[in-house]
Structure 1
């Protein structure tokens, strides 16, 4: 199954994220219920690897952390593929990511090394932003560039299964683990 480890967006952060989506009149907005911060994309994994991952995460006291919105950013280079809200890379969030990667390795799941840029995907542009939409995109981004929020506590880590359809991904929460520890930014 195609899956990832993620944090659900705290309720207090959802309205400003939806406001960003409404400001941009291009692309395909991510449904409210699908908003999340990915800590590790696992790709296709067999059930036994996911069971090992569950055992590894269940045996850990996972770090508590907060999420604070910090601007917007495009991903995909010159031909932007998605617009995301940046999330402040606070120490507790980075520690939680480290814990999740340790559990992933303990489960025998190999991931490529990649730079972690915490973000919440808001809008997708398929194969890339069309040239004809660039002016509307730039104007919308300029209006929301200062996106910021107070830190809000994340409550749980989720293992999410993802099934791709022509209308977008359908997500299913497969397992959850509570976060503990200090919840300061």
Structure 2
């Protein structure tokens, strides 16, 4: 069974901007441009029936379209960096969508995601890169930013057993409601949860 995860795809302009960050870091294994994405929830290796339950539950999510922007770059692994990423400016809409997915997955019996959600796009894996080289690479590109782009759907993707970084396949897609349609906004979510502010 393939490994599943929920994600947002990136438009061509954003992937083009990200592709310009490739190179200049010895020992980095760069992710193929067509595999750039923002992971919302890692689901993992699940059975066919569980995958069907996830698809059915995600199909009932009603959220409005929203805008995102990529901004800044950084690394995971403080003393020994193991990956380079581009940041995603978090929005209330993004956090609400991700939170709903997390609640759905836990209701379906999947273990909670142990990591705090930090939206990002993985650009490279570092196995043999030296920490000093990674620091120099990041220092020269800290002002990275893209124009805002529209998010009008999320997807369920799969990855086959590999070293990591793709190839990824879109298994299902779930459209978001156009602004002005009947979906709940993030502000309405907050009011529904906490009452009037």
What range is the shorter-chain TM-score in?
0.7 to 0.9
Equivalent position of 1:137 in the other structure? 134
Match of 1:177 in 2: 174
Distance 1:41 1:166, change over 3 A: closer
Deviation at 1:33, TM superposition (A): 1.1
> What SS class does the counterpart of residue 21 from structure 1 fall into?
coil
Secondary structure of 2:22's aligned partner: helix
Give the C-alpha shift of residue 154 in structure 1: 1.7
> 1: distance between equivalents of 2:164 and 2:41?
24
Q: Are 1:83 and 2:80 an aligned pair?
A: no
Equivalent pairs counted in the alignment come to 180
Unaligned runs of 5+ in 1: none
> How many Å apart are 1:23 and its aligned residue?
4.3
Tell me by how many angstroms 1:18 deviates: 0.6
Which residue is equivalent to 2:157?
160
Give, in whole Å, the separation in 2 of the partners of 1:35 and 1:17: 9
Larger radius of gyration: 2
- After TM superposition, the runs of 4+ consecutive aligned structure 1 residues lying more than 4 A away are none
**Which stretches in structure 2 are left out of the alignment for 5+ residues?**
181-197
Q: Quick check: 1:52 aligned with 2:49?
A: no
Q: Which residue of 1 aligns with 2:23?
A: 22
What's the offset of the Cα at 1:125? 1.1
Q: Which has the higher strand share?
A: 1
Say if 1:63 and 1:95, in contact at 8 Å, map to a contact too.
Answer: no
C-alpha displacement of 1:165: 2.3
**TM-score between the two structures when normalised by the length of structure 1:** 0.87
Quick one: distance in 2 between partners of 1:167 and 1:95? Answer: 28
